[in-house]
Amino acid sequence: MADKAQEGGVTFGGSGSVSIHGDVVGHDKISTTGQSGMSAADFAQAFETIYAKIAEKPAPEQPTIKMAVDAIKTETEKEAVKGQKADENTVTLFANSLLNMAPDILEVIAATFANPAAGVATVIRKILEKARGQAAA
């Protein structure tokens, strides 16, 4: 059997000595890195698309639509990027506002955060999906 360098584990030596090297794992070692959810850069990029859609709206409507989108952005960013809990009431209120003012913008937001990998809690995704469904009806 060829000698190979041991990367980790327990070595029992002579005279009752025991040496522990590296990670000692009793079963499969699972290592994760990074974060769950979106990075701040990915989140910002997602909203660039949304803001571009707002710019296509008539100028008098843009500030009100942007205010609603900003409120949803603030709350979804808490969960997707910062790992904090979003205010569901705020998301519901402004999603309903967008439903009336700009259902196409709501559609883009809902589609953006429909994927669980986005890091937005299920309840927020459901609020957006519900509003999205109402827009389609």
Q: Would you state the structure tokens that stand for residue 90, as one six-digit string? A: 């705020």
pTM of the model: 0.64
Amino acid found at 22? G
The pLDDT value recorded for residue 58 is 95
pLDDT score at 67: 96
Minimal CA–CA distance to 80: which of 32, 45, 130, 35? 35
The predicted pLDDT at position 57 comes to 94
CA-nearest of 84, 96, 83, 85 to 127 is: 96
9: enclosing H helix or E strand: strand 9-12
Burial class (CB within 10 angstroms; exposed 0-12, middle 13-18, buried 19+) of 108: buried
For 37, how many CA atoms within 13 A lie in the half-sphere containing its CB?
19
pLDDT in tens, the chain (137 residues): 455 565 656 666 777 666 666 565 555 555 544 445 677 888 888 888 899 999 999 999 999 999 999 999 998 888 878 888 888 889 889 998 998 999 888 888 888 777 766 656 666 777 877 877 776 66
pLDDT value for 69: 94
Q: Are 125 and 114 in contact (CB under 8 A)?
A: yes
